Structure 1
Amino acid sequence: MKKLFVKALLTAVLCVSANIALCDNVVTVNVVGVPYMHYVYKMLGDDFNSIENRFLLRYVDENANNFAMKVSAGSADFSVSDIPMPHNELIARKLIQFPVMVTAIVPVVNLPGIDSDKLVLDGPVLAGIMMGDITTWNHASISALNPNLSLPSLRIKTLARSYSSGATLAISTYLAKKSSRFAKNIGVGDSLKWPADVQLMHSGEAIETALSKTPGAISYVEMDVGNIKQMKFVRLKHHTGSIVKADLGFLRSGVVSARATEGENGANSLNGVDFANNWPILLPIYVTLPKNALNDERMTLALRFIYWIFNKGDETIEQSGLVPLPVLLQAQAVKVIRVVRSANGGPLIFNFDL
C-alpha cells in the first residue's frame, strides 16, 4: 500500500515539475468494496502496477447496499463484495459477477484459560448456542465434545452483526443445514433477526472490541481478520466425526470442492460441500462488473487486472490469509469476463498477455 501511494505521489510531482503529459498516461480504475478487503486489493493493485505502470487502483470503502447502483451508474468500474448480488438485480442492472477468492468464517470465543483451536463444537451445538438454547460453557453438549477441557461455568454471551454482512450469510447458511430449528426460527440471510439476548454489533471492529472485553463471549469473523487480531478460533466437528480447524490447508480443501451456481450473468453463488477434510463455512469474495463498459480504457485495464489476479495473484492472496480459486472456477470467471462489451456495444478488445 505504501509503495502504491509513493508511486502515485511521485507521478503527480513529475507531471507538475516537468510539465509533461505523464499524468495523461495514468488510468485510475475506481473500485467500491467491503472495507476488510481494501488492503488485499491495494496490495494486488501495487503488484499489478509493477507490470502495468499506467494502472492506479482507487478503492473506496462502501456499504454493500450501494454497490449495484455505483457500478451500473459508472461511478465505480467494479465492486468487491462478500454478498452475492441477487440474480434479478444483475439482470435488471445489466451486471455480471463471479467469485475471485475465498476466506472462511470462523466461530471465535473469549474463554479464559482455553487457547485458540482447543475448543471443539459441531453444527447442531453451535446452532443451539446462537439460538440461545445452550447458555453456559459447561453445558453437557459442549462438554461431550471436549472431554479433555476444563470448561468454565461462564454464561455464554453471543455477539452478532446488526448490519448486512457476508459473514452472517455464510454462518447462517451452515447452521441452517445443521439445525432444522435454526432454519425455521432464524433462517438464512445477510441480516437476521437474532434472539433478544444476542448482543448486536454495528461493525467488525465493535465485535473485536466486545469479544476481547467479554469473558464467555462467542462470535464469528473472517479467518484472515481473526488471524491478524489473534482471536481464539473454534474447531468444528463434521458429522463424519472428523475435526477440522480454520487454516489455509482445510480452507483450500473446502474451496477445491466448492461449486458455483452459474447463470447468464455469471456465478450467482459459490457453495461449499461438507466433506470430512475441509473447513465447511466458506465466504467467497465476488467482483461485479457492468456488461457494457462506460469507459473502455478503464474497463480494459480493470479486466486485465482481474485476469492477472487469477494468473499471478495467488501468492499475494495467500499471504493475506485468503485462498485463490481453483483453476476450474477461474476458467468459469474468465468466460464471464469475455461477455463484457465496449461502450458502443461492440467487442471490448484487450490483451490477455501478462
Structure 2
Amino acid sequence: MSAAVGLAALIFGTVAQADPIQGAGSTFAAPIINQWSRDYEAMRTDGGDYTSPDWRVDYEPVGSLAGIMRLAQPEMDFAATDAPLPPHELTKRRWTQFPIVMGGIVVVANINGIGAGQLRLSGQVLADIYLGKIKNWSDPAIKALNPDLTLPDAPIAVLHRADGSGSTFTFSSFLSKVSPEWQEKLGADTLIAWPIGRGEKGTGGLATLTAATNNSIAYLEYGQAVRAGFRFVSLQNADGAFVRPGPATFQAGLATVAWNAAGGFHADTTNLAGANAWPMAVVTYAVLPKDRGEMRINRVLDLFRLSFTRGADEASALGYIPVPHELAGRIEAYWAENYGPADPALANN
C-alpha cells in the first residue's frame, strides 16, 4: 500500500470514529467556552482544508447543576460548573476538577435615571430585598445608603434564576455570609426556594427579563451585564467599602485565594477580604470523569491547555479573568498526577 493510500485510510478511518468533545453546564462561562471552541478548531486545522470532528466542541449552556447531572451520561466529556464540588464528592465519583476561567456576579437595577454604580447596597439590604422584607425602592434602609439619589416610590421587581445555576450559588453564598436570616432560612445552593420574585432560566433569559422589567433587580454575569448595557450596583464588601464591579475588583479578591490542588482546587470566592475586593467573585471549573478513556480525556485537556496558553486575551475581552499563569502551571501538574504525562502530539502544538 502506498504512503498516500495509507494516509488517506488513516484520515478517513479517524473521521469515521471521531466525535466532537461534548460538554455542558455553566451559562456564566458559555461565551468564553464557545469562543475557545472556535479558536481550538482553527488552531488544530492550522489553515488547512482538512478538519476533524475531534477538533470541534459541542457545548450546551444548561446551567451548572444540569451540567453536573449530565456528566453521568457516557457520551459527555466534561461539565462546567460555577459551584465547585467538594473534595469528598470528587473522590466518591472518581472525578477531577480544576478552574478554567474567573469573573464576577454583579447586581443590576433597572431604574430610570439611576446610572451605573450610583446605587449603593449593603449585603444585608440586598438579602432583605430577596427575603421580601424590603419591598419598595423608597424604603428607609435603601435611602440611608443613598442620601443623594432620588429613588422611585415603586415596588421592587425581584428577579432571579429559575434553574440550577452556579450564579445562584455564588449569589446565595454571599447572602449567607452577610445575613444570618438568609443562612438559616435558605442557605447557599444552585437551586433556592425563593420566597418572592420571578424566575427565568439561563443567564440570557434572566437578562432579557431584566431589560423588560422596570424597577427590577437581578444578578447576572458581569460580561453579560456590560454587553447588555445594564446599570450595575455598587456593593459593600467585607471591609465596609462600596465597590464597583470590574476585572480589577474581581482580581483583588481572587488574588487572596489559596488554591489547593489536592482538594480539586475547591475554594470559596465570596465576601473575600480586601478594601478593593468585589464581594461576589466566581470561578468556573471543568469537571472530568476518570473513566472516559485516555484519548477522550486528552482531547479535553488539550482544549483547556490551549485556552490557558492562547485564550487569555479572548477571556479578558469578554469581561472574564483568565486563569493566572502560576495557577495554570499547577493545574497542568494536577493533570499529570491524575492522568499521566500529556500526549506529546498534542502538548507540543
Q: Within 5 Å, which residues of 2 pair with 1:308-327?
A: 308-327=306-325
Q: Distance in 1 between matches of 2:9 and 2:31?
A: 31
Q: Secondary structure at the match of 1:308?
A: helix
What residue is the counterpart of 2:49 in the other structure?
A: none
Q: Identity of paired residues, percent? A: 25
What residue is the counterpart of 2:198 in the other structure?
A: 199
Deviations 1:220-260 (A, max 9, x none): 11111111221111011235342211112212222222333
TM-score, normalised by the number of residues in structure 1 = 0.83
Q: Within 5 Å, which residues of 2 pair with 1:301-312?
A: 301-312=299-310
- Equivalent residue pairs, number: 328
Deviations 1:3-40 (A, max 9, x none): xxxxxxxxxxxxxxxx8764555653222233453332
Q: CA deviation at 1:277?
A: 0.7
Q: CA deviation at 1:319?
A: 1.1
Q: Greater share of strand residues, 1 or 2?
A: 1
Q: Distance in 2 between matches of 1:240 and 1:340?
A: 39
Q: Distance in 2 between matches of 1:97 and 1:209?
A: 32
Q: Distance in 1 between matches of 2:219 and 2:69?
A: 29
Q: Distance in 1 between matches of 2:69 and 2:212?
A: 38
Q: What is the aligned counterpart of 1:47 among 36, 39, 58?
A: 39
Change (3 A) 1:316 1:129: same
Change (3 A) 1:202 1:301: closer
Change (3 A) 1:220 1:310: same
Q: Within 5 Å, which residues of 2 pair with 1:134-173?
A: 134-173=134-173
Amino acid in the other structure paired with 1:232: R
Which ranges in structure 1 are unaligned for 5 or more consecutive residues?
Answer: 1-18, 342-346
Deviations 1:155-205 (A, max 9, x none): 11211222211111111111111121221122211111222x322334434
What residue is the counterpart of 1:119 in the other structure?
A: 119
What residue is the counterpart of 2:208 in the other structure?
A: 209
Instruction: Name which of structure 1's ranges 65-74 and 173-182 shifts more when overlaid on structure 2.
Output: 65-74
Change (3 A) 1:69 1:147: closer
Deviations 1:25-79 (A, max 9, x none): 5653222233453332222122233432262222234454454464455412222
Q: Distance in 1 between matches of 2:312 and 2:342?
A: 25
Answer whether contact 2:25 2:68 (CA < 8 A) is retained. Answer: no
Q: CA deviation at 1:215?
A: 2.1
Q: CA deviation at 1:87?
A: 3.5
Q: Distance in 2 between matches of 1:350 and 1:62?
A: 31
Answer whether contact 1:96 1:336 (CA < 8 A) is retained. Answer: no
Which ranges in structure 2 are unaligned for 5 or more consecutive residues?
Answer: 1-7, 46-51
